[in-house]
Amino acid sequence: MRRRDLIACLAVAGTAVLAAPALAADEKKKKSGGEDYLPIDPITGTTNKAGGRRGVLSVDCGLQIEDAKLREYADQSMPRLRAAYVQVIQVYAAGLPSGSEPNVDFIVQALQRQTDLILKRPGAKLLVGAVVAN
């Protein structure tokens, strides 16, 4: 009975050893957008819809940074950048009237302003992929 348990454990351990090189290969894989692009996870904020229902405003964006030192600083400052972006989007989404479309130009300007403030200089260009209000 104990031999069966031992064989099962060895089989699971062998599978884990074989899967390790595949995980290492994924880490070396080039991220989308090129070397100068830093992706940012989607940023969401809660909106009010007609009838008292809740909605979601979602912004998908990233940073294009040519300067290697600034890109490294931006990568290290990503928690601060995300916090500033979330605050901007939440405040904007809370004031968005129900049934109206979001003003993408205003959102881009506000997020770019926060980017320049946190990185302490211009040079990082905010790229917006999608702005969706549900």
| Domain assignments of the chain as residue spans, ordered by start | 37-133
Q: Can you give the pLDDT at residue 52? A: 81
Express as a percent the part of the chain with pLDDT over 70.
75
Let me know if domain 37-133 sits in CATH 3.80.10: no
Whether the pLDDT of residue 82 is over 60: the answer is yes
Residue 102: both structure tokens together: 């979001």
pTM for this prediction: 0.74
Q: How far apart are CA 40 and CA 43, in angstroms?
A: 8
Q: Which helix (H) or strand (E) holds 127?
A: strand 124-133
Strand partners, 72: none
Q: What is the DSSP letter of 96?
A: P
Unique residue bearing structure tokens 């130009």: 105
